[in-house]
Structure 1
Amino acid sequence: MSTDKVTRNRWLILSHGFNMDGRASSQTITDKIPYLLEAGIKPTVFSAITGIKDQRFPHNQFLAWGPAAFRFDFRHWIANQYGRGFIYKLLTRTVSILLAPLIGLEKLCLGYSSQWSWSIPAFIHGYKLICAGKIDMVYSTGGAWSAHLAGLWLKKATGISWIVEIHDPLVIRKSPIDEGSEMPKQRDARFRHYLERQIIRYADFAWWFTDGAVHFAKARNPNLNSTGSAQGFMVLPGAEPPGGLSAAKRHLYTDTLNLSHSGSLAKDRSLSTILNALQGLFKKYPEAREKIRVHVYGAALDSLTVDAITKLGYQDVLIAHGRLEMDPASGKSGRERVVEKMQEADVLILLHGNNEWCAEYIPSKFYEYLWTGRPIWAITHRNSQLDEMLSMRGGYLSHEGDNIGIEMALERIWLDWQEQRLIEPKWLPLGVDQAVEQILTEIKYKH
């Protein structure tokens, strides 16, 4: 596979969730756009209808052809058009009822994740542009693996240059000794296993977001970086400071210790870990019961957190603010509003999870946290790269499963807050400019 310098600048960017407010899979690519434009790239973007249409360059939005993906995309499109009130509830429920039989049939016949079918219109329209001589390179990014599938089809059909950005590992390993080489039994996992091999065989360049992800991809695919296969590397994605926020905003202590979590929650990434640790702290320092509050922004609470709230009677301790959408009054996006709330917190909670794939994954929220100038309390799992990045910047670091260590970290935060000497992190945010510069250097793009 040729590694000659690429001088052509008409790129087709395949991104299912492009311009979706607050979505990590969207921000990872949309944050890059200004730097790509500055570097002379002329993008054409293909996405689903779920985001806001970009006016700076050609941006085509396509409906997925499968019923499950259509339902998903339709919900977000209706929310963008009418909000999440009565019209949203009426239309989305009606569509869900009408599509239910077809969705059941799709799952029975294929068993793939819902967004797979978006690759069909992306391929058809991309093929037309390439055959018309309007595209020099295809850049698939995700997020949803449908973008990579469309990129693969375009590569096979036209031979065009293809670069691939893999956000989360396509192959999920089961244990530290499992490299993920064994073919999974579940159909979607089996297809993702196949897709990774195809990417490494046909892509010109591919990159992942952690050292661990590159390591295990190489272990499964020894041909990575060899002649005739993809050239693979690691990129730290970084993030841009929404709303121009910076550490210059002085932190003010109040009469409440505010811990804040942003992002998704699940059984394997649950705030019940924090709530259970609070129980021991409240026994040792009874006055802390009225002073500590945990604020949650973004996704719904996971079942373990809900159970812990009920069991421990912490309805007043944990405050779930839900998802912050764009505010029409101020004009601020949901992303900007959330980051402002982050900066108002005393300590930011970063939950890594407890699955084996944590060794290959760094939460995207981490990079936004770095722009707030607030200390991070991270509970990580088997990821030395993330631990090192946290340690060099200063913060509170615990490890998943170490209940004593978690309780000790919480007690230290409580005592530091009382004395108004919470850790002041080093100002070492990671912007997106460094990611774009590295990508362009690796693929030998020359303006």
Structure 2
Amino acid sequence: MPQRAVLMIAFHYPPMRGSSGVQRTLKFSQYLPALNWQPVVLTAHPRAYGNPGDDQLGEIPSSVLVCRAFALDAARHLSWRGRYPGWLALPDRWVSWLIGALPAALMLVRQHRPQVIWSTYPIATAHLIGYALHRLTGLPWIADLRDPMTDEGYPEHPLTRRCYLWIERLTVEHCTLAVCTTPGAVQAYRQRFPALPPTRFRLIENGYDEENFAEAAATAAPPAKDSGRPLVLLHSGVIYPSERDPAPMLDALRALHERDAISAATLRVVLRATGHDASIKPLIAARGLQEIVVLAPHLPYRAALAEMLSADGLLILQAANCNHQVPAKLYEYLRAGRPILALTDAAGDTATTLRAAGIDTIAPLDDRAGIEDGLLRFLPLLGNGNAPLADKAALAAHSRQARSVALAALLNEVISAR
């Protein structure tokens, strides 16, 4: 079968780092060529990234053409003394990407004749580019929504929310297919847009990459068995002040510390690359937890995976207002094969995914007493090696290769229908 081309519009792509969205597009671009789809990637100029790095540039296949279009970050490039007009950041701080991306996309269409357009959130401008290109070329368009673009109270700013609602409706009403990463998100969109056919909304979850884990395992030290050291509980990745508010957890840790149930000699909580250290550090200090809770800087991707493999336990935070979302990091946690403590709503998709993998160490994120109980149950299980681990038989379905097969099937479906 001759190979077909797909134009992938993605802001998150190497050398950007520090976002799970990078892995989703990068791995699709790695594995689609073996499935008779040749990706052509349209992304942003590296100047638009606040924290670029070359640690994953080598994973971009040499056969994949990457076009890096003009883009600026309004907060860094268009501000004066740290301030800039709000309209420069509608729908997001990188809306200038539209200026460079649209002519670049039209050039790519002329040169490479893609059969399908694919755009991915969470940068809303990506879907604006996808919509404009779809209208200009008539090509079928798959919109990778991932998580819901809007929800009750999100975005908080009224003007930003109106803008997001407009882009969301524009996207789901004009795209050929809309892809979400959780069953809850698919159901939410079907209920929100009942006039559209339910088959418009499809599911391709996030996942883990086996090759990356094999490379990380070569450098990872196994969890130490020294009974005289503290247990290490790791949270790897961004902690959003609202969606992953750490304050109740810190309150629970302080209460347990005051009761001598934990100490710096028995527990060390590492918060790696939170993205909000400036706001979390005072919360830790106010509770006197500096010797127990540690803020740690960003690590290159493989080093971060190696740290997961070496930790005693892994920590997930996800608020009830994100019940239709699953942190992409969770799939890497499952593959790491380490015990997981999830502070999340038991009714949400995150908890459902964990229970399906055989993990029931779950406590509510917003309930200090519930977190105390969860820790008092989890830590002894962690210490004696009896904490539940992910069912290995279920892991293969969460691989990035399996997700790429699912995307290739959708691309084939769109072409066949056309």
- Tell me the TM-score range normalised by the shorter chain: 0.7 to 0.9
> Which deviations, in whole Å up to 9, do the C-alpha atoms of 1:229-248 show, x marking residues without a partner?
x8211221212142415699
Deviation at 1:25, TM superposition (A): 1.3
1:383 CA drift (Å): 4.3
Which of 3, 12, 27 matches 2:7? 12
1:321 aligns with 296
- SS across alignment from 1:315: coil
Alpha-carbon offset, residue 7 of structure 1: 8.1
Aligned to 2:42: 46
Quick check: 280-289 or 434-443, which moved more?
280-289
Judge which range, 244-253 or 198-207, deviates more.
Answer: 244-253
**What is the correspondence of 1:209-224 to structure 2 with a 5 Å cutoff?**
209-224=181-196
Contact kept, 8 Å, 2:70 with 2:99, in 1: the verdict is no
Structure-2 separation of matches of 1:185 and 1:344:
41
Match of 2:49 in 1: none
Match of 1:29 in 2: 25
Q: Which residue identity is paired with 2:172?
A: I
Residue equivalent to 1:93 = none
Q: Does 1:68 align with 2:33?
A: no
Name the CA distance, whole Å, in 2 between partners of 1:7 and 1:194. 38
Taking structure 1 as the reference length, the TM-score comes to 0.79
The amino acid of 1:366's aligned partner reads: L
| SS in structure 1 of the partner of residue 355 of structure 2 | helix
Q: Answer yes or no: is the 8 Å Cα contact 2:256–2:262 preserved in 1.
A: no
Q: Take 1:420 and 1:288, find their aligned partners in 2: how far apart are those partners?
A: 20
Please identify, of 243-252 and 306-315, the stretch whose mean Cα deviation from structure 2 is larger. Answer: 243-252
Does 1:235 pair with 2:210?
A: no
Q: Distance in 2 between matches of 1:419 and 1:272?
A: 28
1:438 deviates by 2.1
Match of 1:136 among 91, 106, 115: 115
Shift of 1:169: 1.5
Paired residue for 1:396? Answer: 361
Alignment of 1:197-216 (within 5 A): 197-216=169-188
Which residue of structure 2 lines up, in the alignment, with residue 89 of structure 1? Answer: none
Moved more, 157-166 or 215-224: 215-224
Mapped partners of 1:359, 1:382: distance in 2: 9
Counterparts of residues 18-417 of structure 1 (less than 5 Å): 18-19=13-14, 20-50=16-46, 54=60, 55-64=62-71, 68=74, 71=76, 99-101=78-80, 106-108=85-87, 111-131=90-110, 134-174=113-153, 186-225=158-197, 231-241=200-210, 242-244=212-214, 245=216, 251-254=223-226, 255-268=229-242, 269-285=244-260, 288-302=263-277, 305-324=280-299, 334-354=300-320, 356=321, 358-381=322-345, 383-393=347-357, 394-417=359-382
Deviation string 1:100-120 (CA, Å, 9 cap, x unpaired) is 249956424774310122122
How far apart are residue 200 of structure 1 and its match?
1.8
Give the direction of change, closer, same or farther, for the CA distance of 1:297–1:160 in structure 2 (3 Å limit). same
Deviation at 1:440, TM superposition (A): 2.5
Match of 2:406 in 1: 438
Q: Answer yes or no: is the 8 Å Cα contact 1:184–1:190 preserved in 2.
A: no
For the residues of structure 1 that align with 2:7 and 2:375, how far apart are their CA atoms? 47
1:222 Cα shift? 1.6
Compute the displacement of 1:312 (Å): 2.4
Give the SS at the match of 1:401: coil
8 Å Cα contact 2:217/2:309 also seen in 1: no
Instruction: Note the C-alpha offset of 1:407.
Output: 0.8
Comparing 140-149 with 246-255, greater Cα deviation is found at: 246-255
AA paired with 2:20?
Answer: A
Verify the 8 A CA contact 2:178 2:202 in the aligned structure 1.
yes
Q: Give, in whole Å, the separation in 1 of the partners of 2:184 and 2:178.
A: 15
2 CA distance for matches of 1:9 and 1:256?
A: 53
**3-state DSSP class of the match of 1:266?**
coil
Unaligned runs of 5+ in 2: 47-51
Q: Which amino acid aligns with 1:399?
A: P
AA partner of residue 319 (structure 2) = G
In the superposition, relative to structure 1, how do residues 200 and 369 fare at CA in structure 2: closer, same or farther (>3 Å)?
Answer: same
Cα displacement string for residues 131-165 of structure 1 (whole angstroms, at most 9, x for unaligned residues):
45622211111221111111100111111111111
Q: Within 2, Cα distance between the matches of 1:418 and 1:264?
A: 26
Instruction: Classify the secondary structure of the residue corresponding to 2:374.
Output: helix
CA contact (8 A) 2:319 2:365 kept: yes
Following superposition, the deviation at residue 346 of structure 1 comes to 1.0
Secondary structure at the counterpart of residue 391 of structure 1: helix
| Conserved? CA contact 2:45–2:68, under 8 Å | yes
Question: What SS does the corresponding residue of 1:114 show, helix, strand or coil?
Answer: coil
CA contact (8 A) 2:147 2:325 kept: yes
Count of aligned residue pairs for this structure pair: 393
Q: What is the rounded CA distance, in whole Å, between the counterparts of 1:262 and 1:335 in structure 2?
A: 11
Does the CA contact (< 8 Å) of 1:67 and 1:103 recur in 2? no
- Offset of 1:400 from its aligned partner? 2.5
Point out where structure 1 has 5 or more consecutive residues left out of the alignment.
1-5, 72-95, 175-179, 325-333
What's the offset of the Cα at 1:351? 0.4
Q: Residues 442 and 416 from structure 1, CA distance in 2 versus in 1: closer, same or farther, beyond 3 angstroms?
A: same
C-alpha contact 2:9 2:126 (8 A) present in aligned 1: yes
* 1:202–1:282 distance in 2 versus 1, CA, 3 Å: same
The amino acid across from 2:313 in the alignment is V
Q: Give 1:370 shift.
A: 1.1
AA aligned to 1:170 is: M
**Is contact 2:11–2:43 with CA below 8 Å preserved after alignment?**
yes
User: Alignment RMSD, CA only?
Assistant: 3.0
TM-score by length of 2: 0.84
C-alpha distance in 1 between matches for 2:64 and 2:371? 48
The CA distance in 1 between the partners of 2:124 and 2:82, in whole Å, is 19
Preserved CA contact (<8 Å) 2:346 2:352: no
SS for the counterpart of 2:96 is helix
In 2, the alpha carbon distance for the partners of 1:444 and 1:335 equals 32
- Secondary structure of the 2:406 match is helix
Is contact 2:249–2:368 with CA below 8 Å preserved after alignment? no
Overall identity of the aligned pairs, in %: 22
CA offset at residue 190 of structure 1?
A: 1.3
Q: 1:110 to 1:258 in 2, by over 3 A?
A: closer
- Give the counterpart letter for 1:13 in structure 2: M
Over 3 Å counting, the alpha-carbon distance change for 1:298 and 1:156 in structure 2 is same
